[in-house]
Amino acid sequence: MPVRSIEAPGLVGQDAATPDEGRVRLEVHDLDAFFGSNHAVRGVSMDVPEHRVTAIIGPSGCGKSTFLRTLNRMHETVPGAYIRGRVLLDGADIYAAGIDPVSVRRHVGMVFQRPTAFPTMSIQGNVAAGLRVLRAAGIVVNEEQRVEEALKRSALWDEVRDRLDESALGLSGGQQQRLCIARALAMDPDVLLLDEPTASLDPLSTEKVEDLIHQLRREITVVIVTHNMQQAARVSDQTAFFLHGELIELSPTADLFTRPRDPRTEAYITGRFG
Amino acid sequence: MKFRASRRRHVVSAVMGVVTWGAAITATLPLLFILVYLLAKGVTSLNLAFFTRLPRPVGVSGGGVANAIVGTLIVVGVASALGVPVGVGAGVYLAERKAAPLATTVRFLADVLNGLPSIVMGIFAWELVVVPMGHFSALAGGLALGAMMIPVVTRTTEEMVRVVPTTLYEAALALGYTRWRTALRIVIPTAMGGIITGVMVALARVAGETAPLLFTAIGNEYMSYSLTQPIAALPLTIFNYAISPYDEWHSLAWAAALVLIVFVLLVSMIARAVTRSGFARAVD
């Protein structure tokens, strides 16, 4: 049954003329994630290709955010949480013995549902927050230049260039969220994880963030969890549908929303549950 | 009959309103009485000499309590040097390791310490410092008061660090911050307004303590800036002057009490102002 509720599915998928087409950046093999005895993600395997936006959709509690948090080892920061399975970043297992989760997170950036600007830091300080950790680790970075670059990449530079020293709390919610994206980009990550990045934003700010995600695809690999199917359709190249902790279907976005292979996917996107 | 007015319900409501109103007023009465009484009794003895001169013998007018004001500042300074770092550190630990066995134990013991009679704290400092040193000292007084500050600062710091949103903590971890760096650079600065409030409240509380100083700082007729010598303090001055038989000293005691309570009020008001300004915004 064709889907009527989604407009222009996979719009961005068609102009995806980017280099290194098809190279797999993240590989997930048989991943299970637990909170104590709660089995939140069950046997998920998927590939995340470079320079593509991968969207993850599914009803509340389907494990999509938990799955996202296993990709930069944030899952295990919750007491009692652990995983089984493998996650490879450029072929290297990020869960291998001797791998420091802190160093994984420097390569895989993350932006959360609500803006998390650090309240005691200026705009500049916020964007440079991660860089200062690098500097403390002895890595030389040109802070000013990296901050400017990151703010330009997150389309915030023109709005804040004259007030870099002011508190980040003076920015609007949407600006704060783009600031958080800039903060992640300043680290020059290989992959950027977005956990419902527009859930707390108004429609105009949402549009700006979506434009931004669209732009970012050229330089970076993005995985976005979203409640909003239209958003998945607008920004992503491939979409994964999660249900009860399982990956039900992973297809090119245009196909998933028009020709879902699994009846459960079809039921979800036509609004029969969730 | 569906919307029948219940007479009884209205009467009960009115009576309870009056009762709680009365209780609220009564709660503020002691402070009001004390303030008015202190102002009436003490304000006449307040003049420049009171703040700048040393005590004089009975019968000689124009004496002051400069030594006690300086002494209180020094003793409270020593107390803060002990109480603030230990209290803040312990509070951060408790907030970070909420349910660890050591955290549960420390939290319980801090509450017990908080309830300990202050005179016991004085005896403790006497045994620990005064006896080995062979004489009373500002250091011993500061230690006694500092030990009293620790639990207050610990528990308020814990509370303030806990209300820092988890999302900020996670955002820092996701940037590649280690746990200790997150605590030091993100969590503590965000909670700083609240922590300062806790420190102020603890300061205001110990600044007025008398019993712990009786065995430790003991008092001093002269100006002293030395940590190892006996030192004067406002509560001690009030105590000594109040139990003396001289009217002149009595009015000095009233004036000293007024100065002390104004100091405590000021510190409390600063604490409230700090809480209202930065902190509320930071953890919102």
Residues B190, A169: C-beta atoms closer than 8 Å: no
Residue A154's nearest CA partner among A118, A123, A131 is: A123
> Is a pLDDT exceeding 60 seen at residue A192?
yes
* B60-107 residue pLDDT tens: 877 889 999 999 999 999 999 999 999 999 999 999 888 889 999 999
Q: How would you class B113 by CB atoms within 10 Å of its CB: exposed for 0-12, middle for 13-18, buried for 19 or more?
A: middle
Q: Quick check: A16 pLDDT over 50? A: no
Name the percent of chain B lying above pLDDT 90. Answer: 63
Q: Say which of B176, B190, B282 has its CB closest to residue A102.
A: B176
Cα of A98 vs its chain's centroid, Å: 25
pLDDT at A267: 92
Which residue of chain B has the CA closest to A71? Answer: B174
* Chain A positions with Cβ closer than 8 Å to B: 72, 74, 77, 102-103, 105-106, 109-110, 112, 114, 116, 118-120, 129-130, 132-134, 136, 169, 180, 183-184, 187
Cβ–Cβ gap A169/B173 under 8 Å: no
Domains of chain A: 11-269 (3.40.50.300)
pLDDT at A6: 39
d(CA B174, CA B182): 10
Calculate how close chain A gets to B98, using CA atoms only, in Å.
11
Q: What is the pLDDT of residue B194?
A: 87
- B70-282 is classed CATH 1.10.3720.10: yes
Residue A95 has pLDDT above 50, yes or no: yes
pLDDT higher than 80, residue A22 = no
Mutating which of B175, B177, B179, B188 best tests the A interface, going by the most A Cβ atoms within 10 A?
B175
Q: What's the predicted TM-score (pTM) here? A: 0.78
Task: Please state, rounded to an integer, the average pLDDT across all residues of chain A.
Answer: 88
Residues 90-129 of B with CB under 8 A from A: none
Q: Pick the more confident residue, B62 or B178.
A: B178
Give B129 or A22, the one with higher predicted confidence: B129
Q: Is the pLDDT of residue B154 over 70?
A: yes
Region A227-241: mean pLDDT is: 93
Helix axes A203-216, A173-185, angle to 10 degrees: 20
Q: Average pLDDT for residues B172-199, to the nearest whole number?
A: 90
Q: Residue B113's pLDDT is what? A: 93
Contact (CB<8Å) B168/A120: no
Q: How confident is the model at residue B221 (pLDDT cuts 50, 70, 90)?
A: confident
- pLDDT (average), residues B165-188: 91
Q: Taking CA atoms, what residue in A is nearest to B169? A: A116
Comparing A1-10, A128-137, A215-224, B112-121, the range with the smallest average pLDDT is: A1-10
B175 to A184: CB separation less than 8 angstroms, yes or no: yes
- The dihedrals phi and psi of B87, each to the nearest 5 degrees, come to -65, -45
Read off the tokens for B126.
């006497």
Mean pLDDT in residue range A90-97: 93
> Do B143 and B78 meet the contact criterion of CB atoms below 8 Å apart?
yes
| CA nearest to B141, candidates B80, B59, B196 | B80
CA distance B243 to chain A (A): 51
pLDDT at A21: 57
Interface contacts (A, B; CB < 8 Å): 65
* Chain B residues with CB-CB distance to A134 below 8 A: 176
Tell me how close the Cα of A235 comes to any Cα of chain B, in angstroms: 23
Terminal Cα distance for chain B, rounded: 48
Q: Which of A70, A108, A112, A118 to mutate to test the interface with B (most CBs of B within 10 A)?
A: A118
Out of A112, A132, A136, closest to residue B171 by CB: A112
Task: Using CA atoms of B84, B87, B92, B98 in order, give the dihedral in degrees to the nearest 10.
Answer: -170
Per residue in A245-262, pLDDT tens? 999 999 999 999 999 999
| B277: confidence class by pLDDT, cuts 50, 70, 90 | low
Quick one: pLDDT at residue B1? 56
Domain range list for chain B: 70-282
Residue A7's pLDDT is what?
39
pLDDT at A173 over 80: yes
Does residue A18 surpass a pLDDT of 60?
Answer: no
Asked if B186 reaches chain A (Cβ–Cβ under 8 Å), the answer is yes
Pairing of strands A221-225, A191-195: parallel
Place A26 in a pLDDT band, splitting at 50, 70 and 90. very high
When pLDDT is cut at 50, 70 and 90, the band that residue A273 belongs to is low
How close, in Å, is residue A8 to chain B by CA atoms? 34
- Tell me whether residues A105 and B175 touch, CB distance under 8 A: yes
Instruction: Tell me what the mean pLDDT of segment A199-210 comes to.
Output: 90
Alpha-carbon dihedral angle through residues A188, A189, A191, A192, given to the nearest 10 degrees: -80
